[in-house]
Structure 1
Amino acid sequence: MTTPEHQSSAPQPPVPATRDRVYRSPGGIAGGVLLLAVIGWLGIDAVVSGEGRTPWLALAVLLLLVPLVVAFTLRPAVFAGEDRLRVRNPLRVVVLPWGQVASLRSGYTNEVVAASGTKYQLWAIPVSLRARKKAARQEARRAAGGGRGRGGVLGGMGQGAFGGAGAAAVQDGPVRAETDQAMDDLRALRDAREKARSAQGEVTVRWAYEIAGPAVAGAVLLAVLLAVG
């Protein structure tokens, strides 16, 4: 018979790590899918049905455009974890431990400022002046006693949209545009974790060669085909 002491000394399952909050632009993703569909349809049709140099030109254009469209629409994302902020921009990935994040600024663009003073734009969280004006109107109606409608277009999309896993939650306080609320969430996480020992380290930057390589190859091939006539 197993004693209570033996039960308490049994190995315990590991505690699962907290998942990162993911911030992406639904509009950018939708636009990217649409552009890829159009480019793919026209390009593949030219490769299959074209004559002479047309298939080669179409192939070069596809090789040039597809990586760039993916880079600027589908690729951008911001991953906020307990220890670090990972910014995946079109052509590079920047990892900043929270201890190295000096501030998160919102103006005409959203950006993170490292302790060294270097600024990195958050492509995945674009500023929408229209959304800010809409939020201001909603806040004015709420202040006048007309109630409040929280969530907006993106508020219910949850993980993968602005606001990460908590975007769908109804919150108290002033009405904010979705991207401004996402920046508020990042600032709160930074304030809570910047002093943690596990949130210290150096900023690292990695260039996206998987994007630049095919695009450069397509540009070179296109230039050669146009040069030889």
Structure 2
Amino acid sequence: MTTPEPQPPAPQPPVPEYKDRVHRSAAGIAAGVLLLAIACWLGIDAIVAGEGSTPWRALAALLLVVPLVIAFTLRPAVYVGDDRLRIRNPFRIIVLPWGQIDALRSGYSNEVLTKSGAKFQLWAIPVSLRARNKAARQEARRSGQGGAGLGGGGLGGGRAGLSGRRGAVPDGPVRAETDQVMDDLREVLEARRAEKSAQGEVAVRWAYEILAPAGAGAVLLAVLLAV
């Protein structure tokens, strides 16, 4: 009687990998598309209809302007992962493990402060003072209306009266969109900074794919203007 050979264990299903959450500026993207359309229209027209050195100057100007427009409008993004924060700014890419981040600061710009004292700006999450003022007015208006409803009844009292006309009153204070994004990032930081997988070194890389063509265009344009 033969003993059956042991069967190998069944393969375990792979652990799913989740993509990073991405934050970008919709206004910046819209402005970038518009500026690129105008630059290409003017540049191509000068290349086709220009005379003498004008087509070469237009080509050099496009080589300079297009990468810069892309760098400051379409390129900026912030990628939020479980273990690190990746910042894609106009001329640099910064990878920050959560364990290396000391604080996320919001003032006239949104910034990341590392434990080593370095500071990096979040170009993809710009501060809008207009949005902050609007949110502050909405919060003051909501607080005033809520207090009046709770104090005297009248239209059904407090939240019930308001919800009947304008929908349910949101929980918590009214915040500007980018301020709310920064609050979410702070929550992730507090939840992940102590995890073993969220440790490591800060990595910074220059965006040579932007700097190289822009530099070549600047040199070529300077030479053509000097000739």
The TM-score, its normalising length taken from structure 1, stands at: 0.85
DSSP-derived class of the 1:90 partner: coil
Q: Determine which structure has more spread, i.e. the larger CA radius of gyration.
A: 2
Asked if 1:82 corresponds to 2:82, the answer is yes
Residue 119 of structure 1 is matched in structure 2 by 119
- C-alpha deviations, 1:68-127, integer Å up to 9, x for none? 000000000000100000000000000000000000000000000011011000000000
Equivalent-residue separation in structure 1 for 2:55 and 2:99 (angstroms): 52
Equivalent-residue separation in structure 2 for 1:72 and 1:173 (angstroms): 34
Which residue identity lines up with residue 215 of structure 2 in the other structure? V
Provide the alpha-carbon RMSD of the alignment.
2.0
Q: Which moved more, 1:170-179 or 1:120-129?
A: 170-179
Residue 65 of structure 2 is matched in structure 1 by 65
Structural mapping, 1:100-115, within 5 Å: 100-115=100-115
Q: Which runs of 4+ in 1 moved over 4 A?
A: 146-150
1:15 Cα deviation after fit: 2.1
Residue 3 of structure 1 is matched in structure 2 by none
DSSP-derived class of the 1:212 partner: helix
1:144 Cα deviation after fit: 1.8
The TM-score, its normalising length taken from structure 2, stands at: 0.86
Residue 184 of structure 1 is matched in structure 2 by 183
Residue 222 of structure 1 is matched in structure 2 by 221
Structure 1 residue runs without a partner (length 5+):
1-5, 151-169
- C-alpha deviations, 1:174-212, integer Å up to 9, x for none? 110000000000000000000000000000100000000
Matched positions, count: 204
Please say if residues 18 and 82 of structure 1, whose CA atoms lie closer than 8 Å, have aligned partners that are also in contact: no
Residue 173 of structure 1 is matched in structure 2 by 172
1:130 Cα deviation after fit: 0.3
1:171 Cα deviation after fit: 6.1
Residue 196 of structure 1 is matched in structure 2 by 195
DSSP-derived class of the 1:144 partner: helix
Equivalent-residue separation in structure 1 for 2:72 and 2:112 (angstroms): 18
- C-alpha deviations, 1:128-180, integer Å up to 9, x for none? 00000000111112112365989xxxxxxxxxxxxxxxxxxx96211100000
Structure 2 residue runs without a partner (length 5+):
1-6, 147-161
- Specify which structure has the higher proportion of helix: 2
